[in-house]
Each structure stands twice: as structure tokens, then as C-alpha cells.
Structure 1
Amino acid sequence: MLILKNVNISEHCIYASVPPNLLRNIGTFFSVLHIWKMILCLETHGISFRIQISVKELLDTDVLLKLLFRLPVNYPSALPDISVNSDQLTRAQCMDVKEKLLEQAKKHLSEPMVHDLILWVQQHLKDVIKQPAAVCNEKTTLSKGKEDGIWMLLLHLDHMRAKAKYVKTVEKWASDLRLTGRLMFMGKIILILLQGDRSSIKEYLILQKTSKVDVDSSGKKCKEKMMRVLCETEVQSQHKRFQMFEVKEYSALEELQKEFETAGLTTLFSEFVPSLLK
């Protein structure tokens, strides 16, 4: 295994250990692409390397993508295996990005493609992850062509250390994006239930994941890293529309359950909330 922690390392040092057939196909990639960090693993069955790139997403926020390419020995006659990870995207969104990259890779079969794939994801990430999807328990089913209509998002937060500031920030985001719903506290349970345009829901998620909304144990500002998307789906006819965004506290589970039932969300409550008490 050859580990490259400094991208300024002489290319000759890299190429000396790379099989000639693979060298011809990745040389341009190494010389052109700006890479923050790369781990190159020379293996008997090919080459693996990991790349981190920062991509501008909705609201001009930076999304850090971690891409792992595994090139077989007969690359580019055979497609690379690609893995996509990001702390700022859901598992479903990462899968969407991977699928789109593989689709693009098929268009470049038999020719060097990694550099083109990196450029493609930098240019098209917005289009890939803004596609509408219904997400429950992070299992997503794409529902293309349904940008219109009202959507609903249920989030679970592990904690709020700077509660007053956090609550104020959530209220501001909801107001700015014209979202209605509830920020709900019941014991240690913290839930955010939002309704609004699909695009506004997506923008809220990005803000929630990328902004420094809380503080860590030392009091330093930090991003929300322990949020879970419990459900994201289109509002159905039986669901009641919230008229405003409110912050509410409940002393018992029954009170919280009644809030969901009043909004026609009994199934949503029974599917996700009781398990949070375990």
C-alpha cells in the first residue's frame, strides 16, 4: 500500500509503482485534479484511491464529498467501483450520487474517466441531490417529477446544549423559508416537524447540517452531527396543515401523541416516536 498524504509528492514516485496499463489511464487525472487528500492502494487486483472534494451546493454551502474509486486491472475496459460518503448528505443522497456517477462512467467505457467523473459531480451535484424523494428510516424511493405540492419532514435531535440560541435559530430558518410545524420537547426527546414547499424543506436540511447551531462540551460552536431524518414525504390529504411554526413542550408522551393525532399523523407517531424512548 502506498499512502500519499502530501499531494505535492513527485509524480514519478507514484508512477514507479503503478502498473503500466493503469499508469497510461490515470496520469492525466493526477496531473490535473486538485486533491485535498488521497490514499492510493496498489493491489494485485487493481488500484484504489480515496479523494475528498468540496462542492458548492444549494444556498452556496460547501458539501464535502468523500469518493472511493477502485480501478480493476483492466480499467478502463471495465468500470470502476465507486463509493460515495458525506457527513452532510443522507445515505439515500449518497446512493443517488453513486448511481449517477456509474451512469456517467458507462458513457466513458474504454477511455480514461475518473477525471471526467470528478468534474461531472462538481458541476451536477445540485441537480442530483435536489431530486424529490420520500425518505423514511433513511430508505429512499425516488419519486421524480413531484417537486410541486407540500412536503413534510420529521427530524430527531439528540440534544441541545445552547437551547435558547438553537431554538431561536430554528425559528428564524422556519420563518425565512416559510415553513410551518412544531419544535417539540418531551423529556429528552427533541423533534422537529416541518411542512412546506419541497425546495424549502431541502434548504432547511442543508442549513441544519452545515450551520454551527449548537456548542460542544467545551462551549465551542459546532455543527449538528447527531440529527436523524426520521421521515421525509409528501403531505397527504388526511394530514392537517399547520398554520404556523411553534415551539412546544410536553410533560407526558400522551400529550405529544395527541399533537400528532390532531394533525392526522397517528401512523407517523406510532412508527417513529415510541422507539425513541428505548
Structure 2
Amino acid sequence: MGVISFNSLDLPLLLSVLNLTLCSGVKELLDTDVVLKLLFHLPVNYPSILPDICVNSDQLTRAQCMDVKDKLLEQAEKHLSEPMVHELVLWIQQHLKYLIRQSAAVCNEKTTLSRGASTEDGIWMLFLHLDHMRAKAKYVKTVEKWASDLRLTGRLMFMGKIILILLQGDRSNIKEYLILQKTSKVDVDSSGKKCKEKMISVLRETKVQSQHTRFQTFEVKDYSTLDELQKEFEVAGLTTLFSEFVPPLLK
């Protein structure tokens, strides 16, 4: 468990932003300790106004982080008009294990209920072109996590200066990925400041056809030549997609 070494009564006087990293043992659920990063933005009228709370964790999905945030805000309302950050941190340390278990149960239930609808809607494909990646390692890790969280398969492909993302999965998850790609700060600008992806092109969003091969995993791949990249598309039954969009990117 994390150790809290500050006096919550002093927070309004000392801080406008508080960044905490907690470690909670939930090995029986995730086979690892969970590192939870909490960012509290304390407004001028705190604690008469609730703090803004950001929750991040490499071990939890985006949906689980949102669940943790919602529960923290529910607890915060119980402490309105009194210093609360210390109490919220202690509360999440004690209840994180339960929240993760509850979130997993809800997720399984939703998956069961949506199977019929997903089957009817079919598998969809999203084909994207990115202009550049300045913070490549972090960017790639983020894309891999989104694909994993949303159960999407496909490829993140690099060939020279060409960067392509090809995804397959449930239509709702494809749309959720596209929202994340457009609204999250996934890269850095020329000054090194975090920024959203503004140089993205949606080349194709369509239902996967019978002649297309389903990808079984999501992989990050580098190609030395255009021929190597073309073979990847040919194996997937996507020769027409390649011919229509990739060669023009070289001009």
C-alpha cells in the first residue's frame, strides 16, 4: 500500500495540483501489483467545490480507470466543504481490489449481452494514415494498449516515412478507438509538449468482407521495402486497399 505523508488540512493553502502514485496489491485478480496514478486539481474554492480527478494505470483498462474516477467523485461528494484528498486516497487504497473485481464482473456481463449484436453487426475494419510520430516509443505503446483494451487485431505498419494503422474488430470498438486516436494526447509537438494527433487521415472504415483474412493478433511491424508491405496486404486479401491508398503516399 502507498504511504500518505501529507496533512490534508494544509492542502488548500499549499497546493493547486497534487500528483500521487499508489501501489495496491491485487495479485489474485491481475497477477500483479497495480500502480495507480492519481492527479488532483484543486480549484480556488476547494473544498467547497469538488476537485478534478484524473486516474491512470498501465495495469488497468481505460474503462476501469473511469470506474475508479467515478467512485472517487462519489466519495468526494460525501466530504464536500471539508478537506477530502487524504480521505479519498485512503478510501481507494482500501477499496481498489473490490472496484476491479466489480468492474471485471460488469465487463463480462456486457460482453455476454453484446455478443448477439456484435455478431449481427459483423467485424469492421479501420485503415488510418499518420503523418509522423515524434515520441515514437510512447506513441506505439499507447496504440498497443488501446488495441488490447478494445480487443482489436491488426497492424501498426512502418515503411520509411509511411505510418499506417490497420484494425479489425467490433464496430463499436473501432469507433471508440477512433475517438481515442483523435482526442488523446498521444504525441509531442516540436517543442516537446504533449499534443493530440492532428495529422491523421481515415483512409477507409468498412465492414470486413468474406475475401478478407482476419488478423488474429495486433502487431507492430517495420517493412524495408514497398514489396514487403504489399505482401502483408495481399496475405490479408486487401490488395485493392493497398493499391488504392498506399502508392499515392509515396508521391
Does residue 248 in structure 1 map to residue 221 in structure 2?
Answer: yes
Residue of structure 2 equivalent to 1:102: none
CA–CA distance in structure 2, aligned partners of residues 256 and 262 of structure 1: 10
CA–CA distance in structure 1, aligned partners of residues 120 and 235 of structure 2: 27
Among residues 223, 233, 242, which one is paired with 2:206 in the alignment?
Answer: 233
Among residues 107, 125, 132, which one is paired with 1:159 in the alignment?
Answer: 132
Among residues 240, 262, 275, which one is paired with 2:235 in the alignment?
Answer: 262
Structure having the larger proportion of residues in helix = 2
- The Cα offsets for residues 37-91 of structure 1, whole Å up to 9 and x where unpaired, read as xxxxxxxxxxxxxxxxxxxxxx8x9xxxxxxxxxxxxxxxxxxxxxxxxxxxxxx
Structure 2 unaligned blocks of 5 or more: 1-62, 67-118
CA–CA distance in structure 2, aligned partners of residues 225 and 265 of structure 1: 27
CA–CA distance in structure 2, aligned partners of residues 272 and 153 of structure 1: 13
CA–CA distance in structure 2, aligned partners of residues 244 and 200 of structure 1: 15
Structure 1 residue 273: Cα displacement: 0.4
Letter in 2 for 1:211: S
CA–CA distance in structure 1, aligned partners of residues 156 and 120 of structure 2: 25
Cα–Cα, structure 1 residues 170 and 194, in superposed 2: closer, same or farther, change >3 Å?
A: same
Residue of structure 2 equivalent to 1:204: 177
Structure 1 unaligned blocks of 5 or more: 1-58, 62-145
Cα–Cα, structure 1 residues 225 and 147, in superposed 2: closer, same or farther, change >3 Å?
A: farther
Does residue 182 in structure 1 map to residue 155 in structure 2?
Answer: yes
CA–CA distance in structure 1, aligned partners of residues 238 and 120 of structure 2: 22
- The Cα offsets for residues 180-232 of structure 1, whole Å up to 9 and x where unpaired, read as 00000000000000000000000000000000000000000000000000000
Does residue 149 in structure 1 map to residue 122 in structure 2?
Answer: yes
CA–CA distance in structure 2, aligned partners of residues 178 and 277 of structure 1: 31
Residue of structure 1 equivalent to 2:146: 173
CA–CA distance in structure 2, aligned partners of residues 206 and 149 of structure 1: 20
- The Cα offsets for residues 71-125 of structure 1, whole Å up to 9 and x where unpaired, read as xxxxxxxxxxxxxxxxxxxxxxxxxxxxxxxxxxxxxxxxxxxxxxxxxxxxxxx
Q: Which portions of structure 1, spanning 4 or more consecutive aligned residues, are displaced by more than 3 angstroms?
A: none
Residue of structure 1 equivalent to 2:192: 219
Letter in 1 for 2:147: A
Letter in 2 for 1:245: F
Letter in 2 for 1:180: T
SS at match of 1:161: coil
Structure 1 residue 241: Cα displacement: 0.2
SS at match of 1:246: strand
SS at match of 2:213: coil
CA–CA distance in structure 2, aligned partners of residues 268 and 167 of structure 1: 23
Residue of structure 1 equivalent to 2:43: none
Cα–Cα, structure 1 residues 201 and 260, in superposed 2: closer, same or farther, change >3 Å?
A: same
Does residue 191 in structure 1 map to residue 164 in structure 2?
Answer: yes
SS at match of 1:273: helix
SS at match of 1:166: helix
TM-score computed with the length of structure 2 as normaliser: 0.53
CA–CA distance in structure 2, aligned partners of residues 251 and 233 of structure 1: 28
Structure 1 residue 147: Cα displacement: 6.7
How many residues are aligned here? 136
CA–CA distance in structure 2, aligned partners of residues 202 and 175 of structure 1: 15
Contact 1:147 1:198 in 2 (8 A): no
SS at match of 1:173: helix
CA–CA distance in structure 1, aligned partners of residues 242 and 157 of structure 2: 13
